[in-house]
């Protein structure tokens, strides 16, 4: 009896320490904001803020499409002289209290980033205790609203489409996802520039167009398609795909499944500095065809070395072109300034006052090694 009584006391006492919800909000009683967008226009109220609000009456019914005619979201906007004031002003259009705990994406317009920089957006987001540090942040081109104000093919709430794109960004290789925490760290690091994925609305779908690169806090260039892929490889942030014309005029397509890069700064002749980039890429030949050839082609084992060399040359050219563009834009996305300060402090003292010019002139050596040994359809 005593043991039973003791067990009851222990369980009752333990229940006092069980964590749970300290508050709750019925889904129909709040306005659930799922994405925030930020744009810029010249004038007394330059900051335009857009909020995607889910239609909770459809969500509560377990249906995101209603009768097929009503969209499952709407966008409210307002403008003001500061980001916070524009966010607050937009809520005047809502009959329910806005809730920001389910915001999953921050989308910043290209013009705002080129004209005003990302400082006001990062400043607002990190001060807002409700916005989580792991929300995705991206660039909307030509504006945030142009991306947000449309339903997409598979998802009736655009925020879900953004999430899916970011989850699979590294597989496409054109870009990669960046969350608010990573963006904030790069923003606060004065020796490593920011890079963000860029999204556009095209042909009824949201696409990742490439990568937006920054110098200090302003966006300075966009790396699209191959250029975005090359920078993603250099930063070890994507796998992706590549096609080359190789053995006997055959078009060979390789799907990379592992990419590793090593970036260093070394001294060369006359005590000059050089950026060295070594990339190891492992992939499979996933497609092989030849114009007007009505047959299923295959490669012999002895042909693999020639194909591998062609793939390495193509990948190297793509990476070199990407890095040439970021150097020209004086965007130190690789963190070269950090490396020089750590490894060559005396050199850094000489270079830091005119770092942009010095960085643009640094030579880059790229070495690419590709492993296709696990490729199929080889006789």
Maximum alpha-carbon separation in the chain? 89
What separation in angstroms does the CA of 1 have from each of 6, 10, 12? 9, 14, 17
With H, G, I as helix, E, B as strand and everything else as coil, classify residue 365: strand
Q: Which helix (H) or strand (E) holds 304?
A: helix 304-328
CA distance 274 to 9: 70
Number of H helices, E strands in the chain: 14, 13
CA distance 182 to 108: 16
| Nearest residue to 170 via CA among 211, 200, 118 | 211
CA distance 209 to 227: 11
Per-residue pLDDT of the chain (379 residues; tens, 9 = 90+): 544 554 454 445 445 444 444 455 555 567 789 999 999 998 888 999 999 988 766 555 555 444 455 677 889 999 999 999 999 887 787 778 888 888 999 999 999 999 999 999 999 999 998 999 999 999 999 999 999 988 776 677 777 888 888 888 777 778 899 999 999 999 999 899 999 999 998 888 888 999 999 999 999 999 998 999 999 999 999 888 888 987 777 888 899 989 999 999 999 887 899 999 999 999 988 888 776 665 556 677 778 888 899 999 999 999 999 999 999 999 999 999 999 999 999 999 999 999 999 999 999 999 999 998 766 554 4
Partners of 272 in the β-ladder: none
Residue with the two structure tokens 């643009």: 360
Strands 205-215 and 218-224 turn out to be antiparallel
- Domain range summary for the chain, segments of one domain joined by +: 27-231, 239-379
Q: Which two tokens stand for residue 137?
A: 């942040």
- Which CATH number applies to 239-379? 3.30.300.210
């Amino acid at each position: 009896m005593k043991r039973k009584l003791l067990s009851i006391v222990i369980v009752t006492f333990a229940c006092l320490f069980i964590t749970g919800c300290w508050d709750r909000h019925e889904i129909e009683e709040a306005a659930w904001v799922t994405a925030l967008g930020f744009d810029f226009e010249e004038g007394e109220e330059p900051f335009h803020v857009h909020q995607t609000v889910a239609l909770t009456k459809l969500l509560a019914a377990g249906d995101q499409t209603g009768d097929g005619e009503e969209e499952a979201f709407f966008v409210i906007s307002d403008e003001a002289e500061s980001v916070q004031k524009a966010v607050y002003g937009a809520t005047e259009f809502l009959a329910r209290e806005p809730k920001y705990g389910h915001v999953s994406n921050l989308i910043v317009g290209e013009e705002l980033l080129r004209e005003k920089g990302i400082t006001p957006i990062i400043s607002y987001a990190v001060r807002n205790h409700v916005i989580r540090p792991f929300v995705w942040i991206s660039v909307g081109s030509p504006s945030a609203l142009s991306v947000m104000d449309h339903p997409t093919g598979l998802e009736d709430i655009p925020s879900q489409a953004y999430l899916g794109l970011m989850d699979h960004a590294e597989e496409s290789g054109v870009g990669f996802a960046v969350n608010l925490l990573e963006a904030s760290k790069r923003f606060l690091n004065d020796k490593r520039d920011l890079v963000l994925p860029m999204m556009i609305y095209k042909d009824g779908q949201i696409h990742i167009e490439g990568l937006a690169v920054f110098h200090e806090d302003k966006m300075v260039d966009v790396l699209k398609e191959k250029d975005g892929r090359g920078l993603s490889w250099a930063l070890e942030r994507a796998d992706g795909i590549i096609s080359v014309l190789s053995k006997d005029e055959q078009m060979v397509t390789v799907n990379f499944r592992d990419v590793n890069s090593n970036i260093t700064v070394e001294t060369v002749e006359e005590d000059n500095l050089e950026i060295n980039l070594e990339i190891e890429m492992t992939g499979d030949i996933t497609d092989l065809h030849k114009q007007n050839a009505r047959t299923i082609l295959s490669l012999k084992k002895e042909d693999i070395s020639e194909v591998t060399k062609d793939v390495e040359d193509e990948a190297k050219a793509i990476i070199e072109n990407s890095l040439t563009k970021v150097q020209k834009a004086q965007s130190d996305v690789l963190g070269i300034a950090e490396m020089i300060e750590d490894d060559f402090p005396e050199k850094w003292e000489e270079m830091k006052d005119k770092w942009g010019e010095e960085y643009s002139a640094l030579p880059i050596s790229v070495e690419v090694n590709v492993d296709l040994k696990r490729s199929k359809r080889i006789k």
